[in-house]
C-alpha cells in the first residue's frame, strides 16, 4: 500500500536531518530498503518541499509517503463515541496501539483518526495499553491539546474499567492503596511491583467491585483514583486475581518472557486463552468546566475475545 506519514518533530529529533528522522522511526528495517520505498516528491516540512539532507527543528510538521509499505496487521475498527467543540472520545479496539511503536507507525489510533475523520490534526490527551480496549480522549487539534493536556486530571473526574480475572474473590468490594515501583533486577523490565516500605515509587489507589462470578473467573469493575503505569493489572495480580490473557502479570510473567524470546508454543497460546488481555476502559466522567455539569461517556463495545470467553465460561 501507499502510506502517507505526517507527524510533529519531537525535541529529540531537533537538529538532525530528514533522512535520520525517518530512519529513526523504523529501527527494525534496513535503511537502504526503507529509503527505496520513499517518494522524494512527497517530502514536506511545514508544507514546503525539502530534501533528505534538510535539518529539522522541534515542532516542525514532517510529511512523506512510502510506496509498497507493509507493517503488522492490527484491529483498525475505531469509532466515535462522543464529541463537543474541542474534544472527541473514541473507541479503541484491543491490539491497536494509540501512537507509533517500533513496528506500527501507519496504523495507530491517532493516525487512523487523522486520516479517517474530519480532524486531521487530532492529538491524544491520554493513552491506553496496546491490548486494552475502550475510551480514549483526543483534542481536535494541537492548540486544543495544549489547552487540555495540563488539565487532564481535572477533565477526567472518574475512570472506570472492566476486567475479566482469574478466580473468584472472597470479597465483594476492595480498595487497594500502595506504592508502585519498577524493580531494576526484574526479568520483565516493564513490570510494576507493589513496593516494600521504604522503597521509592508512586502512590496508587484503585477501588474494585465484583460484577459477576463464574466457576473459575470473575468480572471486576475497577475505578482508578490515580493513573500509574499498569496500575489495574499490577493491583489485581497482587490481590491474587490477574487479568485473563495478561502475559506480564499472570502466570508469573512466563508467557511474556516466552513471547519476547519467540518460543511460545500452541499449548502456551491455549493456556493464555485470549488474543489479548481482557481489560476495557468502560466509562469516563468528564468535567468540562466549573460551571457545567458532568458528561458521562460509556463504551460497552467489548472485544470479540471478551464475548467469546464469557460465553465459553458462563
The residues annotated with a catalytic role in the active site are: 129
DSSP characters over 81-112: EEE-SSEEEEEEPTT--SS--SS-SSSSHHHH
Q: How far apart are CA 238 and CA 174, in angstroms?
A: 12
Report the distance separating Cα 297 and Cα 145, nearest Å: 19
Tell the burial category of 299 from Cβ atoms under 10 Å away from its Cβ (0-12, 13-18, 19+). Answer: buried
Would you say 76 and 94 are in contact if contact means Cβ atoms under 8 Å apart? no
Count each helix (H run) and each strand (E run) in the chain, helices first. 9, 15
Q: Give the alpha-carbon dihedral of 40, 41, 47, 49, to 10 degrees.
A: 80
DSSP codes of every residue in 148-191: HGGGHHHHEEEEEEEEEEES--S-SEEEEEEEEEE-TT-SSTT-
The whole-angstrom separation of Cα 132 and Cα 183 is 23
Place of cell 512510502: 66
Torsion (CA) 261, 267, 271, 272 in degrees, nearest 10: 40
Q: How far apart are CA 5 and CA 116, in angstroms?
A: 14
Amino acid at each position: 500500500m501507499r502510506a502517507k506519514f505526517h507527524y510533529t518533530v519531537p525535541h529529540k529529533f531537533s537538529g538532525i536531518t530528514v533522512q535520520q528522522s525517518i530512519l529513526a522511526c523504523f529501527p527494525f528495517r534496513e535503511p537502504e530498503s526503507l529509503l527505496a520505498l520513499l517518494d522524494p516528491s512527497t517530502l514536506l516540512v511545514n508544507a514546503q518541499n525539502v530534501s533528505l539532507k534538510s535539518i529539522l527543528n522541534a515542532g516542525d510538521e514532517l510529511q512523506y509517503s512510502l510506496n509498497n509499505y507493509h507493517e503488522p496487521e492490527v484491529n483498525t475498527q475505531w469509532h466515535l463515541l462522543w464529541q463537543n467543540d474541542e474534544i472527541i472520545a473514541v473507541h479503541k479496539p484491543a491490539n491497536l496501539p494509540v501512537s507509533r511503536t517500533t513496528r506500527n507507525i501507519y496504523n495507530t489510533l491517532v493516525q487512523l483518526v487523522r486520516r479517517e475523520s474530519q480532524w486531521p490534526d487530532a492529538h491524544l490527551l491520554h493513552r491506553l495499553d496496546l491490548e486494552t480496549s475502550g475510551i480514549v480522549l483526543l483534542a481536535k487539534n494541537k492548540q486544543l491539546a495544549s489547552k487540555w493536556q495540563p488539565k487532564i486530571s481535572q477533565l477526567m473526574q472518574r475512570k472506570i474499567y472492566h476486567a475479566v480475572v482469574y478466580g473468584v474473590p472472597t470479597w465483594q468490594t476492595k480498595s487497594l492503596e500502595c506504592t508502585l515501583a519498577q524493580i531494576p533486577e526484574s526479568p520483565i523490565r516493564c513490570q510494576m511491583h507493589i513496593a516494600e516500605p521504604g522503597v521509592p515509587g508512586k502512590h496508587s489507589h484503585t477501588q474494585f467491585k465484583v460484577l459477576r462470578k463464574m466457576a473459575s473467573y470473575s468480572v471486576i469493575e475497577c475505578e482508578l483514583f490515580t493513573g500509574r503505569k499498569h496500575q489495574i493489572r499490577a493491583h489485581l495480580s497482587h490481590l491474587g486475581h490477574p487479568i485473563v490473557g495478561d502475559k506480564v502479570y499472570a502466570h508469573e510473567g512466563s508467557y511474556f518472557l516466552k513471547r519476547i524470546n519467540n518460543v511460545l508454543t500452541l499449548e502456551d497460546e491455549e493456556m493464555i486463552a485470549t488474543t489479548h488481555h481482557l481489560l476495557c476502559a468502560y466509562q469516563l466522567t468528564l468535567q468540562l468546566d466549573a460551571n457545567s455539569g458532568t458528561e458521562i461517556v460509556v463504551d460497552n463495545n467489548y472485544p470479540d475475545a471478551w464475548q467469546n470467553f464469557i460465553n465459553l465460561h458462563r
